[in-house]
Amino acid sequence: MCHLQLGINFELTCVFHNGIYRTVGGIIDMGRLISDKYAAWKQECEARFQQLKKNEEELNRIFIDIYGLQDELTPDVADKDVTVHRVFDSKDDVPESMKGSNYVRTMRDEIVSLISYAVGCMFGRYSLDVDGLAYAGGEWDASKYKTIIPDSDNIIPICDDEYFDDDITGLFVEFVRKVYGEGTLEENLKFIADALGGKGTPREVIRSYFLNDFYADHLKTYQKRPIYWLFDSGKKNGFKALCYMHRYQRDLLARLRTDYVHEQQERYRTQLAQIGDAIDHASASERVKLTKQQKKFQDQAAELQKYEEKVHHLADRNIKIDLDDGVKHNYELFADVLAKIK
């Protein structure tokens, strides 16, 4: 079983035909190519699709024969009516016979599922050492996590550069390294980046995905009831960070403000001071580039200053949530500092 249905959501518990392997003691089977796992998973899905179609058509023949409906009905089942997923490399590869089906997935969809599962491991929702959900509220059991240790403070920043040790892009790269091995790391990152699409190095593409597209995919997967909450200062990307709703504690906003927002503000001040000094000694061509960077940091710093005030206000309220109240109710308690759900 390669997909675990969790309420309304599908996420990978084993990636691409058991691409994540767990053996006795939680040891990971290293050194594997995600492209090979994807190809095997795609083939498995296709075989399952063809078998189900064949079974359904055989059942149709049986009932048609029983009721003597040979002149009125055909046993044929349209591809788009077969209710198991079929995977294609891109939307352009989807044949006409599958148009209109709710069971079409692409390579990008599968990579997005892999990324979502990885984020779940970062927060402790999933673990490579146990089956199914590792944590969705209640008492925390640290013994479930040996291969990948979840983020300790339930705050993972999403930055346009490597500002924090627990930056989400760095954590994801480490996830791929630990699961698939050091020897295949760069090839695997390139495969992931190619599937996502975008310009730049694989790490730059992955960083851009987290910064710009991850949350939209998360909202789509969870039908606008996100379990990972995005703290977002605004359009300038002055500050972004994720937390896992089920690990929320009343001091989370206070820690977010002091350990992350204030740290980011200090970095902007330092960068602006360095750029200011550099501009004074730069050539004309270099000054144009530096001035552009300066404007970007000034805009981000100004955005973050306003955001800090909002976080401060909510942190002082020391808000308690009840998971039984549901995602929508709890999310609205922090609407001033969380990304808008669209």
Task: Yes or no: say if 188 and 33 are a contact pair by the CB < 8 Å rule.
Answer: yes
**Amino acid 8: pLDDT:** 30
Task: Yes or no: say if 263 and 162 are a contact pair by the CB < 8 Å rule.
Answer: no
**Amino acid 295: pLDDT:** 96
Length of the chain: 342
**Amino acid 222: pLDDT:** 95
What's the token pair of residue 323? 């998971």
Q: Give the predicted TM-score (pTM) of the model.
A: 0.89
**What gap in Å lies between CA 272 and CA 275, rounded to an integer?**
5
Dihedral over alpha carbons 194, 198, 202, 208 (to 10 degrees): -130
What's the token pair of residue 213? 């597209």
**What gap in Å lies between CA 267 and CA 282, rounded to an integer?**
22
Nearest to 307 by CA among 243, 250, 236: 236
* Per-residue pLDDT tens digits of the chain, which is 342 residues long: 333 222 233 454 345 434 444 433 444 444 589 999 999 999 999 999 999 999 999 999 999 999 999 999 999 999 999 999 999 999 999 999 999 999 999 999 999 999 999 999 999 999 999 999 999 999 999 999 999 999 999 999 999 988 999 999 999 999 999 999 999 999 999 999 999 999 999 999 999 999 999 999 999 999 999 999 999 999 999 999 999 999 999 999 999 999 999 999 999 999 999 999 999 888 988 999 999 999 999 999 999 999 999 999 999 999 999 999 999 999 999 999 999 998
The model's pLDDT over 25-76, given as tens digits with 9 standing for 90+, comes to: 444 444 589 999 999 999 999 999 999 999 999 999 999 999 999 999 999 9
What's the token pair of residue 99? 């148009």
**Amino acid 27: pLDDT:** 41
**What gap in Å lies between CA 148 and CA 117, rounded to an integer?**
12
Cβ burial of 44 (10 Å; 0-12, 13-18, 19+) is middle
Question: Any idea where the domains of the chain sit in the sequence?
Answer: 3-216, 226-332
Backbone φ and ψ of 317, nearest 5°: -80, -20
How is 26-93 classified by DSSP, letter by letter? S-B--S--HHHHHHHHHHHHHHHHHHHHHHHHHHHHHHHHHHT-TTT------GGG--S-EEESSGGG
